[in-house]
Chain A
Amino acid sequence: GAVVSQHPSRVICKSGTSVKIECRSLDFQATTMFWYRQFPKKSLMLMATSNEGSKATYEQGVEKDKFLINHASLTLSTLTVTSAHPEDSSFYICSVGTGAYNEQFFGPGTRLTVL
């Protein structure tokens, strides 16, 4: 299966700053990647679908100007949390769908803490 990495694994930032999270597909060229957010003891919630070379598709209620997604290559998608606030503190996870039925491969996640 696909190997997916994320960087950083955890980040702490001050309120009002921007944070960039990278998601890399190490051994699979991914035209599509997905970004999820997970609050403590809750399930994963899809934020957006990242499409290589085109605009991301955001889920209802997710502000596209706040969560900027760039998928410039087949192996890299980035999520930038702009003007972060404490309520943006969460666990952010990306995934790669290889097209094999409904099997996806997830990154290890990034823990964001906004002070």
Chain B
Amino acid sequence: LAKTTQPISMDSYEGQEVNITCSHNNIATNDYITWYQQFPSQGPRFIIQGYKTKVTNEVASLFIPADRKSSTLSLPRVSLSDTAVYYCLVGDLDTGRRALTFGSGTRLQVQP
């Protein structure tokens, strides 16, 4: 599985857009990029997944450049409840049947 690198922490204010970038230089052709969110004392929650270009859902957007060596999770207009740890993972199509390897994640702190 490709190794990922993320900033350890980020700070933001309510109402701002937050962009968290993840580096995955060794991503393989069949790898997808997935982001999870984890609140304290809870299990991780799936946010978004993509392969290339841009993916958007009701929660976030995921931007993936053509070389796919990085990806950016974009959270529009964050609120205090978005304070959490965000994990970027990469894996192939069958990874759902195999355990996920979590990196250190990015701890996002949203201030009022």
Chain A residues within 8 Å of B, Cβ to Cβ: 1, 4, 32, 34, 36, 43-46, 49, 91, 93-95, 97-109, 111
CB-CB < 8 A to A91: which residues of B? Answer: 41
Instruction: Tell me whether B49 and A102 are in contact (CB under 8 A).
Output: yes
Known: A102-B96, A104-B100. A109 touches B41 (CB 8 A): yes
CB of B93 within 8 Å of the partner chain: yes
Distance in Å: Cβ of B73 to nearest Cβ of chain A = 15
Instruction: Tell me whether A97 and B96 are in contact (CB under 8 A).
Output: yes
In this complex, the interface size class of chain B, counting residues with CB under 8 Å from chain A, is 20 to 34
Distance in Å: Cβ of A64 to nearest Cβ of chain B = 16
Known: A91-B41, A93-B43, A106-B43. A100 touches B99 (CB 8 A): no
CB-CB < 8 A to A95: which residues of B? Answer: 43, 99-100
Instruction: Tell me whether B92 and A102 are in contact (CB under 8 A).
Output: yes
CB of B81 within 8 Å of the partner chain: no
- Of all chain B residues, the one with the shortest Cβ separation from A57 is B99
Chain B residues within 8 Å of A, Cβ to Cβ: 32, 34, 41-46, 49, 87, 89-105
Offer 9 A-B interface pairs, CB within 8 angstroms, sorted by A.
A32-B97, A43-B87, A43-B102, A44-B102, A93-B43, A95-B99, A102-B91, A102-B96, A104-B46
Distance in Å: Cβ of B51 to nearest Cβ of chain A = 9
Known: A43-B105, A46-B99, A46-B101. A101 touches B34 (CB 8 A): yes
Instruction: Tell me whether B96 and A100 are in contact (CB under 8 A).
Output: yes
Among A1, A4, A43, the most chain B Cβ lie within 10 Å of the Cβ of A43
Known: A43-B87, A43-B103, A43-B105. A102 touches B43 (CB 8 A): no
CA distance A43 to B100 in the complex (A): 12
Instruction: Tell me whether B32 and A49 are in contact (CB under 8 A).
Output: no
Among B32, B43, B87, the most chain A Cβ lie within 10 Å of the Cβ of B43
Among A1, A49, A102, the most chain B Cβ lie within 10 Å of the Cβ of A102
CB-CB < 8 A to B87: which residues of A? Answer: 43
